[in-house]
Amino acid sequence: MQSNWREALVRPDAAIHDVLKVLDETGIRLVVVVDESDRLLGVVSDGDIRRALLRGMDFGEKVTQVMNPNPHVARIGERRDVLRSLMERFSLIHIPLVNEDNRVVGLETFQHLLRPLVRDNWVFLMAGGFGTRLRPLTDNCPKPMLPVGGKPILETILESFIAAGFRQFFISVHYLPTVIKSHFGDGSRWGVTIRYIEESIPLGTGGALGLLPDIDPLPLVVMNGDVLTQLDFNALLDFHVAQEDAMTLCVREYEIQVPFGVVEGIDTRVTEIVEKPVQKFFVNAGIYVISPDALKRAYPPRRLDMPDLVKDMLALESKISMFPVHEHWLDIGRPDDYATALRVGRDRGLAL
């Protein structure tokens, strides 16, 4: 049973943004809505939140607007084989445990019922960039090797994937490759396999994909080596597989506030004026899952940015989906971003 299950309980008057906070802080991909006596009212999954993001729902709304009021449950004390069978039949990763009064008394996870999860998918970490905007910090240090929370950014990324069950990694290198290779070696220090893809010339954010050797016919997880996030990589990969996509792009909501009153009208007639409106967009979060057929579009090796590969696949009418990232996420591209990462790392005692 999940040890910190009580942290996943919320009341029905909680706002959706409060649920987001619970999801982020607990690492549990489910929030359980209960009344003041802890009687079950419904559940909100990680997927429910992402769908709400895509619909543009106001996250100030109550959690009851997105919860499932009729979730599958199990009685406390149920046998493990029965729980596993129930969760397999309905593709559940969590199931609330209730007593005879329908009070929530625990939360079982499918992963807990199984041996530790091991993913056979390869992970490709892109770490060949020059980090020009972070000079002079990157004059003698590749950007992914800048320290945050007492260790290189790239090491934090690697350990996040290892914690999620991934064991096989490619790292693309170009600028000061020896710094990266001497630190990580073959990965044996972490009990994983690391292989290097060396770009003799810069190939863009996606060109190194064309240098990959033949690997197992499984989706490839690709991530920029300068992104710090608490994204659930298993949720991402499970989503991609379930969607049967050619590619999945992680996206992050980005807001821009217009600093003036925006006037709307028809011809010369004013119909409305909106003071300093906020516009919201989904931006590329630098994390992808690429199926084998889509990966073939990166061959032969050439200069290729990831947006170019996406456009190429769209032109072929391939299926590409968005996966909203609501967890902590920070792209370390500028000095201000790096300063933020250092501050967050100090405040949380984490390398994030």
Task: Return the pLDDT at 345.
Answer: 67
Closest to 97 in 3D by CA, of 70, 78, 69? 78
Dihedral (Cα; 18, 21, 25, 29), 10-degree rounding:
90
According to CATH, what is the number of the domain 5-113? 3.10.580.10
Tokens representing residue 249 in the block: 């792009």
- Please tell me whether residue 309 adopts helix, strand or coil conformation: helix
Q: How far is CA 79 from the centre of its chain?
A: 33
How many angstroms separate the CA atoms of 143 and 333, rounded? 9
Q: For 154-207, write each residue's pLDDT tens digit.
A: 999 999 999 888 999 999 998 899 999 999 999 999 999 999 998 888 888 888
Beta-carbon-side half-sphere exposure of residue 233 (alpha carbons within 13 Å): 28
Task: Return the pLDDT at 288.
Answer: 95
**Residue appearing with tokens 């996406």:** 310
Task: Return the pLDDT at 53.
Answer: 83
The boundaries of every CATH 3.10.580.10 domain in the chain are: 5-113
Phi, psi of 302 (to 5 degrees): -165, 170
How many angstroms separate the CA atoms of 125 and 109, rounded? 29
Residues 87, 113 contacting (CB under 8 angstroms) = yes
Is the bond into 136 cis (omega within 30 degrees of 0)?
yes
Task: Return the pLDDT at 347.
Answer: 62
DSSP state at residue 184 = H
Please list the ranges in the chain whose pLDDT falls under 50.
350-351
Query: 295 CB contacts (<8 Å, ≥6 apart)?
Result: 209, 212, 220
What Rg, from alpha-carbon coordinates, does the chain have? 22
Tokens representing residue 325 in the block: 């990232």
Residues 180, 145 contacting (CB under 8 angstroms) = yes
Q: For 2-39, write each residue's pLDDT tens digit.
A: 677 888 899 999 988 888 888 888 878 889 999 998 99
Q: Angle 153-163/177-184 helices, nearest 10 degrees?
A: 40
Residues 206, 88 contacting (CB under 8 angstroms) = no
How many angstroms separate the CA atoms of 87 and 79, rounded? 12
Residues 39, 103 contacting (CB under 8 angstroms) = yes
Q: Which amino acid makes up residue 236?
A: L
Residues 222, 287 contacting (CB under 8 angstroms) = yes
Phi, psi of 348 (to 5 degrees): -95, -15
Tokens representing residue 339 in the block: 């300063």
Tokens representing residue 336 in the block: 């201000």
Residue count (the chain): 352
Antiparallel, parallel or unpaired: β 261-266 and 104-109? unpaired
Query: 4 CB contacts (<8 Å, ≥6 apart)?
Result: 26, 28
How many angstroms separate the CA atoms of 155 and 184, rounded? 8
The boundaries of every CATH 3.90.550.10 domain in the chain are: 119-348
Task: Return the pLDDT at 351.
Answer: 44
Query: Which residues, listed in sequence order, are joined to residue 308 by a DSSP beta bridge?
Result: none
Task: Return the pLDDT at 45.
Answer: 87
- DSSP conformation letters of 243-307: HT-SEEEEEEEEEEE-SSEEEEEETTEEEEEEES-EEEEEEEEEEEEE-HHHHGGGPSP----HH
- Please tell me whether residue 260 adopts helix, strand or coil conformation: coil
Which of 2.40.110.10, 3.40.1180.10, 3.30.300.30, 3.90.550.10 would CATH assign to domain 119-348?
3.90.550.10
Query: 148 CB contacts (<8 Å, ≥6 apart)?
Result: 156, 228, 332, 338, 341, 342, 345, 351, 352
How many angstroms separate the CA atoms of 318 and 120, rounded? 24
